[in-house]
Amino acid sequence: MMSSTVWIILAGAFMTYLTRVGGHIIISRFEHINPRIQAGLDAVPAAVLTTIVAPAVYHGGPAEWGAIIIAGLAGLYLSLLPMVIIGTGALILARAVLGV
Amino acid sequence: MSNRALFWAGARRCIPVCVAAGPFGALFGALAVESGLSPFEAVLMSATIYAGASQMVGIDLFGQNIPAWVIVLSIFAVNFRHILYSASIGRHLGDWNGWQKAFGLFFLIDPQYAEAERRLEMGGKIEFVWYMGLATPTCLFWLSITWLGAQFGNLLKDSHSYGIDFLLPIYFLGLVMGFRKRSFWLPVVGVSALAAVIAYETIGSPWHVSIGAVAGIMLAAFFSPQARGKLSQSEGQVTS
Is B108–A50 a contact, with Cβ atoms under 8 angstroms apart? Answer: no
pLDDT of residue B239: 41
Q: Give the number of other Cβ atoms within 10 Å of residue A87's Cβ.
A: 28
CB contact (8 A) between residue B188 and residue A47: yes
pLDDT over 50 at B240, yes or no? no
Query: What number is the ipTM of this complex?
Result: 0.91
Minimal CA separation from B140 to chain A, in Å: 17
pLDDT averaged over chain B?
90
- In angstroms, what is the C-alpha Rg of chain A? 20
Q: How many other CB atoms are found less than 10 A from the CB of residue A79?
A: 12
Which residues in chain A are contacts of B79 at CB distance < 8 A? 15-16, 19-20
Residue B58 has pLDDT above 80, yes or no: yes
Q: Give alpha helix (H) positions in chain B.
A: 3-12, 14-34, 39-48, 52-62, 68-79, 81-90, 98-104, 110-121, 128-152, 164-177, 185-202, 207-223, 233-237
Three-state DSSP class for B237?
helix
Query: What does DSSP assign to residue A61?
Result: -
Q: How far apart are CA B30 and CA A50, in angstroms?
A: 27
B230 has pLDDT over 70: no
Q: Do A38 and B163 touch (CB under 8 A)?
A: no
Is residue B206 scored above 70 in pLDDT?
Answer: yes
Residue from B176, B186, B231 to probe the interface with A (highest A Cβ count within 10 Å): B176
Q: Residue A42: its chain B contacts at CB < 8 A?
A: 88, 182, 220, 226, 236-237
Task: Write down the pLDDT at residue B236.
Answer: 46
The per-residue pLDDT for range B95-122, each reduced to its tens digit, is 999 999 999 999 999 999 999 999 999 9
> How far is B240 from B97, CA to CA, in rounded Å?
33
pLDDT of residue B161: 79
Distance (Å, whole) CA A49 – CA A47: 6
Residue B20 is predicted with a pLDDT of 87
A29-48 pLDDT, tens digit per residue, is 988 888 999 999 999 999 99
pLDDT of residue B204: 86
